[in-house]
Chain A
Amino acid sequence: NAGVTQTPKFQVLKTGQSMTLQCAQDMNHEYMSWYRQDPGMGLRLIHYSVGAGITDQGEVPNGYNVSRSTTEDFPLRLLSAAPSQTSVYFCASSFGNLYTFGSGTRLTVV
Protein backbone atom coordinates (compact mmCIF):
# COMPACT_ATOMS: atom_id res chain seq x y z
CA ASN A 1 0.00 0.00 0.00
CA ALA A 2 1.21 3.51 -0.79
CA GLY A 3 2.20 5.60 2.19
CA VAL A 4 4.92 6.33 4.70
CA THR A 5 6.86 3.43 6.19
CA GLN A 6 8.77 3.83 9.43
CA THR A 7 11.15 1.32 10.97
CA PRO A 8 11.66 0.12 13.61
CA LYS A 9 8.31 0.30 15.41
CA PHE A 10 9.92 -0.01 18.85
CA GLN A 11 13.49 0.56 20.07
CA VAL A 12 15.26 0.64 23.41
CA LEU A 13 18.64 2.38 23.58
CA LYS A 14 21.16 2.92 26.29
CA THR A 15 22.30 6.47 26.98
CA GLY A 16 25.08 7.39 24.58
CA GLN A 17 24.18 4.88 21.89
CA SER A 18 23.48 5.98 18.35
CA MET A 19 20.82 4.83 15.96
CA THR A 20 18.96 5.76 12.80
CA LEU A 21 15.19 5.86 12.47
CA GLN A 22 14.20 5.01 8.92
CA CYS A 23 11.46 6.67 6.91
CA ALA A 24 10.46 5.94 3.34
CA GLN A 25 7.57 7.16 1.20
CA ASP A 26 6.43 5.99 -2.21
CA MET A 27 4.17 8.92 -3.14
CA ASN A 28 6.91 11.00 -4.78
CA HIS A 29 6.33 13.81 -2.27
CA GLU A 30 8.97 16.50 -2.14
CA TYR A 31 8.27 17.60 1.43
CA MET A 32 9.12 15.30 4.35
CA SER A 33 9.39 15.98 8.04
CA TRP A 34 10.08 14.40 11.42
CA TYR A 35 8.05 15.06 14.57
CA ARG A 36 8.28 13.86 18.12
CA GLN A 37 5.21 13.33 20.26
CA ASP A 38 5.36 13.68 24.01
CA PRO A 39 2.42 13.45 26.43
CA GLY A 40 0.43 16.67 26.59
CA MET A 41 2.62 18.42 24.04
CA GLY A 42 1.23 17.43 20.67
CA LEU A 43 3.67 16.92 17.83
CA ARG A 44 6.78 19.07 17.60
CA LEU A 45 8.80 19.48 14.44
CA ILE A 46 12.39 18.22 14.59
CA HIS A 47 13.69 18.58 11.01
CA TYR A 48 12.15 18.90 7.60
CA SER A 49 13.17 18.67 3.96
CA VAL A 50 11.66 20.41 0.94
CA GLY A 51 13.40 18.08 -1.51
CA ALA A 52 16.38 15.82 -2.10
CA GLY A 53 19.58 17.44 -0.87
CA ILE A 54 17.78 20.11 1.19
CA THR A 55 17.11 19.92 4.91
CA ASP A 56 16.36 22.43 7.63
CA GLN A 57 15.77 22.59 11.36
CA GLY A 58 12.40 22.63 13.02
CA GLU A 59 11.39 23.59 16.53
CA VAL A 60 13.41 20.95 18.45
CA PRO A 61 16.44 19.93 16.32
CA ASN A 62 19.10 19.51 19.02
CA GLY A 63 20.48 15.98 19.27
CA TYR A 64 19.17 14.93 15.86
CA ASN A 65 20.63 14.88 12.35
CA VAL A 66 18.92 14.25 9.03
CA SER A 67 19.88 13.82 5.41
CA ARG A 68 17.87 13.54 2.21
CA SER A 69 19.86 11.84 -0.53
CA THR A 70 16.75 10.62 -2.38
CA THR A 71 13.14 11.78 -2.67
CA GLU A 72 11.94 8.56 -1.06
CA ASP A 73 14.06 8.36 2.11
CA PHE A 74 14.47 10.71 5.05
CA PRO A 75 16.36 9.03 7.92
CA LEU A 76 16.65 10.59 11.37
CA ARG A 77 19.87 10.00 13.31
CA LEU A 78 20.47 10.17 17.01
CA LEU A 79 24.23 10.45 17.48
CA SER A 80 24.32 10.04 21.28
CA ALA A 81 20.96 9.13 22.75
CA ALA A 82 19.78 10.82 25.94
CA PRO A 83 16.82 9.95 28.20
CA SER A 84 15.19 13.23 27.13
CA GLN A 85 14.86 11.72 23.66
CA THR A 86 12.47 9.06 24.91
CA SER A 87 9.42 9.75 22.77
CA VAL A 88 7.30 8.59 19.88
CA TYR A 89 8.68 9.73 16.54
CA PHE A 90 6.57 10.31 13.45
CA CYS A 91 7.73 10.82 9.92
CA ALA A 92 5.43 12.55 7.45
CA SER A 93 5.43 13.38 3.78
CA SER A 94 3.17 15.92 2.19
CA PHE A 95 1.79 17.28 -1.04
CA GLY A 96 0.60 20.80 -0.44
CA ASN A 97 -0.91 20.80 3.04
CA LEU A 98 -2.09 17.19 2.89
CA TYR A 99 0.18 15.25 5.20
CA THR A 100 0.55 11.47 5.39
CA PHE A 101 2.07 10.19 8.62
CA GLY A 102 3.88 6.95 9.31
CA SER A 103 2.74 4.74 12.17
CA GLY A 104 5.54 5.91 14.43
CA THR A 105 8.64 4.64 16.25
CA ARG A 106 8.42 4.35 20.02
CA LEU A 107 11.91 5.03 21.38
CA THR A 108 12.98 4.51 24.97
CA VAL A 109 16.40 5.67 26.15
CA VAL A 110 17.52 4.17 29.46
Chain B
Amino acid sequence: GQQLNQSPQSMFIQEGEDVSMNCTSSSIFNTWLWYKQDPGEGPVLLIALYKAGELTSNGRLTAQFGITRKDSFLNISASIPSDVGIYFCAGQQISSGSARQLTFGSGTQLTVLP
Protein backbone atom coordinates (compact mmCIF):
# COMPACT_ATOMS: atom_id res chain seq x y z
CA GLY B 1 0.00 0.00 0.00
CA GLN B 2 0.93 3.63 -0.08
CA GLN B 3 3.31 4.92 2.54
CA LEU B 4 3.42 8.21 4.38
CA ASN B 5 6.69 8.90 6.15
CA GLN B 6 6.01 10.98 9.23
CA SER B 7 8.74 12.47 11.39
CA PRO B 8 9.79 12.76 14.04
CA GLN B 9 8.40 9.64 15.69
CA SER B 10 8.42 11.32 19.10
CA MET B 11 9.24 14.71 20.59
CA PHE B 12 9.87 16.00 24.09
CA ILE B 13 9.58 19.78 24.35
CA GLN B 14 9.34 22.39 27.07
CA GLU B 15 6.07 24.19 27.61
CA GLY B 16 6.08 27.37 25.53
CA GLU B 17 8.30 26.02 22.78
CA ASP B 18 7.28 25.70 19.15
CA VAL B 19 7.20 22.30 17.47
CA SER B 20 7.19 21.15 13.88
CA MET B 21 6.43 17.79 12.31
CA ASN B 22 6.12 16.69 8.72
CA CYS B 23 4.97 14.00 6.35
CA THR B 24 6.33 13.00 2.99
CA SER B 25 5.13 10.57 0.36
CA SER B 26 6.22 9.17 -2.95
CA SER B 27 2.62 9.59 -4.16
CA ILE B 28 0.62 12.69 -4.92
CA PHE B 29 -2.36 13.43 -2.68
CA ASN B 30 -5.34 15.64 -3.39
CA THR B 31 -5.95 16.40 0.28
CA TRP B 32 -3.76 16.45 3.37
CA LEU B 33 -5.26 16.16 6.82
CA TRP B 34 -3.80 16.47 10.30
CA TYR B 35 -5.33 14.66 13.28
CA LYS B 36 -4.66 14.57 17.00
CA GLN B 37 -5.32 11.53 19.16
CA ASP B 38 -5.69 11.77 22.91
CA PRO B 39 -5.15 8.63 25.03
CA GLY B 40 -8.10 6.25 24.82
CA GLU B 41 -9.81 8.25 22.10
CA GLY B 42 -10.08 8.24 18.34
CA PRO B 43 -8.30 10.78 16.13
CA VAL B 44 -9.85 14.22 15.86
CA LEU B 45 -9.38 16.42 12.82
CA LEU B 46 -7.23 19.52 13.38
CA ILE B 47 -6.65 20.94 9.91
CA ALA B 48 -7.61 20.01 6.35
CA LEU B 49 -5.63 21.18 3.31
CA TYR B 50 -7.06 21.05 -0.18
CA LYS B 51 -4.70 22.90 -2.52
CA ALA B 52 -1.00 22.65 -3.26
CA GLY B 53 0.79 25.48 -1.47
CA GLU B 54 -2.13 26.15 0.87
CA LEU B 55 -1.22 27.43 4.32
CA THR B 56 -3.95 27.12 6.94
CA SER B 57 -4.07 28.04 10.62
CA ASN B 58 -6.27 26.86 13.45
CA GLY B 59 -5.37 28.80 16.58
CA ARG B 60 -1.77 27.97 17.48
CA LEU B 61 -1.63 25.31 14.75
CA THR B 62 -0.43 26.00 11.22
CA ALA B 63 -0.21 23.45 8.43
CA GLN B 64 0.90 23.65 4.82
CA PHE B 65 0.17 21.54 1.76
CA GLY B 66 3.45 21.08 -0.10
CA ILE B 67 3.73 22.53 -3.58
CA THR B 68 4.59 19.11 -5.04
CA ARG B 69 1.50 17.62 -3.32
CA LYS B 70 3.77 14.98 -1.82
CA ASP B 71 4.37 16.53 1.58
CA SER B 72 2.86 18.54 4.40
CA PHE B 73 3.99 20.01 7.69
CA LEU B 74 2.29 20.95 10.95
CA ASN B 75 3.59 23.60 13.33
CA ILE B 76 2.39 24.16 16.88
CA SER B 77 3.40 27.44 18.46
CA ALA B 78 3.77 28.18 22.18
CA SER B 79 3.02 24.62 23.27
CA ILE B 80 0.88 23.96 26.34
CA PRO B 81 0.37 20.78 28.39
CA SER B 82 -2.89 19.87 26.63
CA ASP B 83 -0.99 19.60 23.33
CA VAL B 84 0.25 16.20 24.54
CA GLY B 85 -0.92 13.39 22.30
CA ILE B 86 -0.22 11.61 19.04
CA TYR B 87 -0.41 13.66 15.86
CA PHE B 88 -1.15 11.93 12.58
CA CYS B 89 -0.95 13.15 9.03
CA ALA B 90 -3.25 11.57 6.48
CA GLY B 91 -3.39 11.85 2.73
CA GLN B 92 -6.35 11.30 0.50
CA GLN B 93 -6.49 10.45 -3.17
CA ILE B 94 -9.63 10.45 -5.21
CA SER B 95 -9.70 7.44 -7.46
CA SER B 96 -12.36 5.06 -8.66
CA GLY B 97 -13.19 2.35 -6.17
CA SER B 98 -11.21 3.96 -3.37
CA ALA B 99 -12.83 7.37 -3.09
CA ARG B 100 -12.23 9.07 0.24
CA GLN B 101 -9.82 6.46 1.62
CA LEU B 102 -7.21 7.91 3.93
CA THR B 103 -3.59 6.81 4.16
CA PHE B 104 -2.12 7.59 7.58
CA GLY B 105 1.38 8.39 8.70
CA SER B 106 2.81 6.47 11.64
CA GLY B 107 2.26 9.33 14.08
CA THR B 108 4.31 11.76 16.17
CA GLN B 109 4.06 11.29 19.94
CA LEU B 110 4.34 14.74 21.52
CA THR B 111 5.23 15.21 25.18
CA VAL B 112 5.19 18.69 26.70
CA LEU B 113 7.31 19.11 29.80
CA PRO B 114 6.33 21.75 32.37
Contacts and interface: CB of A to CB of B under 8 A. Distances in A.
Size class of the contact patch on chain B: 20 to 34
A61 to B, nearest CB: 11
Q: Rank and list the top 3 A-B pairs by shortest CB-CB distance, nearest first.
A: A101-B42, A42-B104, A43-B104
B106 A97 contact: no
A58 B101 contact: yes
A38 to B, nearest CB: 10
A68 interface: no
A97 B44 contact: no
Nearest to B102: A99
A103 B42 contact: yes
Interface of B: 1, 4, 6, 9, 31, 33, 40-45, 48, 88, 92, 97, 99-102, 104-107
Contacts, number: 56
Please indicate which of the listed interface residues B4, B9, B40 has the most CB atoms of chain A within 10 Å of its own CB: B40
B33 A43 contact: no
Interface of A: 4, 31, 33, 35, 40-45, 48, 50, 56, 58-59, 90, 92, 94, 96-99, 101-104
A90 B44 CA distance: 12
A87 to B, nearest CB: 14
Contacts of B44: 101
Contact of A31 (B31, B40, B100): B100
